Structure 1
Amino acid sequence: MAPALKLHDLDGEHSLTLDVGGQAADAAGAEAGHEPNGYFWEGLVRFAWPDIAERLDFDSEAGMLCAVGSPSDFARLKAAVAPVITSPEAVRDVIARAETSGFEFDD
């Protein structure tokens, strides 16, 4: 896993978390007028990768993105999100596509 993405297993329930506020791409969200919190990152996942998001349950908070699901879903989520959390350009691209489509972030 990328260091920022953490996989947890508690009594057979699997979750993946991303602590927000210190990611390289957080500034791109803020520059676009968003609060780069857990809800923003959840919205980014829901918009950019709806096929992955629909298989997960989210329990995000202000300070973290949290998804509950299976290890195989997390492998797909990690592959999608890991390069984006380090790339302000990728976040700007997703935000621009989301705004064009009328998607609203809940941040």
Structure 2
Amino acid sequence: MTITLHDFNGEQSLTLNVGGLAADVAVADRGHEPNGYFWEGLVRFAWPDIAERLGFDSEADMFCAVGAASDLAHLTTALESVIRSPDAVRDIIVRAEASGFEFDG
């Protein structure tokens, strides 16, 4: 599990290679595929104030966010605690589903 921050020609991005994360079992147990698109949805639900300022370029095997370095630093801190905790990700999924949010929609 590695969250990586990149600077390419002045554009800042954060990537997370998915699969093999501690939270994957919780994601799959709730009926979701633990891929980059799922994690993009989780970010949009759990941290909408940060997500609204970011662009996304996720793929099946990678979550990718593009934006200001300060927003990406906040997102890194938030994501690090969740990807290591099946209970935390399960809680976010349950709250999202209760609100009608669709991760894969």
Shorter-chain TM-score: what band?
over 0.9
Matching residue's letter, 2:70: S
Aligned length: 105
Structure 1: 4+ residue segments shifted above 3 A: none
CA distance in 2, matches of 1:52, 1:14: 14
Alpha-carbon shift at residue 58 of structure 1 (Å): 0.3
TM, length-normalised to structure 2? 0.96
CA distance in 2, matches of 1:7, 1:27: 25
What is the RMSD of the two structures over their aligned residues, measured on CA atoms? 1.1
Q: Residue 103 of structure 2 aligns with which residue?
A: 105
Q: Residue 66 of structure 1 aligns with which residue?
A: 64
Q: Secondary structure at the residue paired with 2:72?
A: helix
Matching residue's letter, 2:88: A
Q: Residue 35 of structure 1 aligns with which residue?
A: 33
- Higher relative helix content: 2
Alpha-carbon shift at residue 41 of structure 1 (Å): 0.4
Q: Residue 47 of structure 1 aligns with which residue?
A: 45
Q: Residue 20 of structure 2 aligns with which residue?
A: 22
Q: Any unmatched runs of 5+ in structure 2? A: none
TM, length-normalised to structure 1? 0.95
